[in-house]
Amino acid sequence: MTQDDKFIEVLSEIVKKLMIQPDEADIYEVEKKIVESLIEKGYEINEISNILENIFKVVNVEYEKDIKMRVLHPVEIENLQEDAKHFLFKLKKDKLISSKEFETILNELILKAHEITIDDLKLILNKKEVLKSKFLN
């Protein structure tokens, strides 16, 4: 399959999943369904990320060279509670943490043997002194 074919297939999958979702659907849940569907079709996480990056370039959705779409691996999705995932992505989106800090924090969280809560996330952020404690309480 050519890169163009993959591009079209991924874009089609995104459109299909978005069209069947209710208006109040959680965007992270929709993203999870899209990624799971693409993985079932044989795509790798890195390949999905690269294709999504190219889609954003083509549709010109406020794309900046230093911002890349980060697709969570299924293990990361399963281990992060929704509120912790939303909080972590919001920190990155609002540029309160860098992409490198995002990855470092995510890696540390995933090493834990239990489901990650927002309190676990805040504890790691405080420990790493990524943000001032007053923002995390």
Q: Where would I find the H helices in 3-98?
A: 3-19, 27-40, 45-59, 74-79, 82-93
Task: Give the domain range for residue 128.
Answer: 74-135
Residue 64 lies in a domain: no
Tell me what the mean pLDDT of segment 48-65 comes to. Answer: 67
Residue 69 lies in a domain: no
Q: What's the whole-number average pLDDT of the chain? A: 76
**133: which DSSP letter?**
G
Residue 85 lies in a domain: yes
Q: What is the pLDDT of residue 107?
A: 80
Residue 68 lies in a domain: no
Question: pLDDT tens for residues 90-110?
Answer: 888 888 888 788 888 888 877
What's the pTM? 0.48
Residue 66 lies in a domain: no
Residue 32 lies in a domain: yes
In whole angstroms, how far apart are CA 99 and each of 28, 44, 104? 18, 20, 9
- Which pLDDT band, with edges at 50, 70 and 90, does 40 fall under? very high
Residue 24 lies in a domain: yes
Q: What is the pLDDT of residue 134?
A: 40
Tell me what the mean pLDDT of segment 30-46 comes to. Answer: 86
| Residues 86 and 37 grouped into a single domain | no
Q: How many domains, the chain? A: 2
- Residues near 124 by beta carbon (within 8 Å), at least 6 away in sequence: 105, 108, 109
Q: What is the pLDDT of residue 42?
A: 92
